[in-house]
Amino acid sequence: MLCNLRKYNVSHILLLSSIVLLAFLLRFVGISSYPVGFTPDEASFGYDAYSLLKTGRDQWGESWPLTFRSFGDFKLPLYGYLTVPSIALFGLNEFAVRLPNAIFGTLAILATYLMVGQMFRDRKIQLFSAFLLAISPWHVSLSRGAFEANLTTFFMPFGIWAFLKGVKKPHWMVVSAIAFGLNLFSYHSARLITPLIVLSLLWFNTTLLRTDHSLWEWRSVGKHKWGLSVFSAFLVIAVYTVFFGAGARGADIAIFNPTDKWSAVSDRRYEAFLQGLPDGVARVFSNKVVYVIDNFVNNYFSYLSPQFLFTQGAGEWTYGMIPGWGVLYLIELPFLLFALWGVFARRPLAGLSRGRLIKVILIWILLAPIPAALTKGAGFAANRVSVMMPAVQVLSAYGAVVLWDVMQKRWPKYKQALLACYLVSVLVSLGFFLEDYRYHAPKSAAGAMLYGRRDAVDFAESLQDRYGRIVFSKSLSEPQIYVAFYGAWDPKDYQEQAQGWLRYEKEWLLFVDQLGEYGLGKYVFSGVNNIREKNESNIVLVGKPEEFRKEDNILKAIYYPGGKPAILLTEFNPN
């Protein structure tokens, strides 16, 4: 350890420590309240972890599952398991559920630093990459909630770092295999991209590194047999789970399964037919294959567009991100341009003996949009393409060093002033992001982040002894998980009652809350109008404001940060 530290001067260590500390503070401070609200997915991960801690089974009664059924969308399990120690230490609350992501989001900075050190042997790129990821609005936002999409930003660079070390020291290849293997169970996008990155690394190590005397010859694969065996085992298990639940979510959101059941294709073909084009010819231009390819290409390039990267960013307020903020700062645009120039102009960079591995970063970035491009939706789903991090920050840092090299040669007298201008610009950009995140985003994000569920459950619990039943509207989105989470419901009882909810599969429904009605003790989950039609008395109704009438007796109103009512609790007595 001391030998490694001697390679770095004190100022370098202080800079790295400052970057990591800044990253931690940006991801940790106030995570219980920001992002505002608490999504059903977050609550589900938390309650699954709580259930595993208490019973060794998830909320559905499955022993240490390889996928979490959740609401019928079958989440990959890594985040849930990482949350178990946090729940054990801090109890069942928002802080405990979000803490693992804040920790791994911070560790991602170190993993990126280590990976870049193995790739380029250049301290400037190392520090710039770590710094850009530390302040990234994309990464900061995803690191502050229980969003499993963010885990890959640690496991991918850590796996690559260990792989590059393992080329010469085989025991590190086992570490790499474990990191890549765990990444297969972090998020669906990472599951698709990880094997492709591994293949890219294998290919680059058979070709580009020959001149560096670190030849990976296929005849010497035997010395890495343990690493290959470990990753292969993870891969086999991951493929196995696809056929037992894990593929359900992918099938539901894939562009191969359009919501309109291909009506857009048939409508377009029929329109051409009415305009005089023979049906056989119309089918050439309007068919399922053309539809899928067209959607994929448009989706794919949208994630590499300036709009997504620098101006629009995420397309929705979920996952704690801010639409209207690019996933990168605008100040990074010239860095990316200089990076591309540096790569394709084959400009030599002093001291970068392994600079050719920047092409691994480019391949990584080009592969990253594929999972998101294969899914349907409104577009700009920044969570689905989060696997692009930290590759895009590394590319920016690489471009910054290329630019610095140019400045040193052309404007040596002004390089310090230009560096100061850059740092000021970055800090100003970070300041504007934090101001927006803290003071403006909560008002706009509250609805998408399902604000007010905790207050609703807490107040409903205080009414249990006075009313016969408490009915939560299904419009509140999987309300049963909020009742279980905030009430710390006995997992054994929850598991037992959840068995009856499995009828959603027999009724060919995708999610639990699509059932007509289901219950959890005194709590009932149904439609408000369904309850009104039954004319039952002594009931509390919990739902959205638009579900109630003016004459209803309002017991409690819960408001969004902007002042609009979010949830109403009313007393229902038909007589």
Q: Each residue of 15-46: pLDDT tens digit?
A: 999 999 999 999 999 999 999 999 999 999 99
Residue 303 has what pLDDT? 95
Burial class, 304, CB count within 10 angstroms (exposed 0-12 / middle 13-18 / buried 19+): middle
Residue 354 has what pLDDT? 47
Residue type, 331: I
Residue 244 has what pLDDT? 67
Residue 73 has what pLDDT? 87
Query: Could you report the per-residue pLDDT of 115-166, keeping only the tens digit for each?
Result: 999 988 788 899 999 999 999 999 999 999 999 999 999 999 999 999 999 8
Other C-beta atoms within 10 Å of 278: how many?
Answer: 10
Residue 412 has what pLDDT? 74
The pair of three-digit structure tokens given for residue 524, joined into one six-digit string:
């009932």
User: Taking the model in full, what pTM does it have?
Assistant: 0.91
Coil, helix or strand for 522? Answer: coil
Backbone angles phi, psi at 375, to 5 degrees: -110, 150
Coil, helix or strand for 569? Answer: strand
Domain-wise residue ranges, the chain: 2-442, 453-572
Cα atoms in the 13 Å half-sphere on the side-chain side of 294: 9
Would you mind telling me the total number of residues written for the chain in this entry? 575
Q: Return the closest-CA partner of residue 160 out of 399, 426, 3, 363.
A: 363
Residue 108 has what pLDDT? 98
Task: Give the integer Cα–Cα distance in Å for 335 and 389.
Answer: 16
Beta bridge partners, 520, equal 523
Task: Give the integer Cα–Cα distance in Å for 334 and 421.
Answer: 14
Residue 551 has what pLDDT? 82
Beta strands 539-543 and 553-559 are unpaired
Edge-first strand order for the sheet with 539-543 is: 518-520, 523-526, 469-473, 539-543, 565-572, 553-559
Beta strands 553-559 and 565-572 are antiparallel
Beta bridge partners, 75, equal 68
Residue 39 has what pLDDT? 96
Show the low-confidence residues of the chain (pLDDT under 50). Answer: 1-5, 207-216, 218, 347, 350-354
Residue 32 has what pLDDT? 95
Q: Return the closest-CA partner of residue 380 out of 482, 298, 302.
A: 302
Residue 340 has what pLDDT? 87
Do residues 109 and 150 touch, judged by C-beta distance below 8 A? no
The pair of three-digit structure tokens given for residue 47, joined into one six-digit string:
């309650």
Residue 275 has what pLDDT? 81
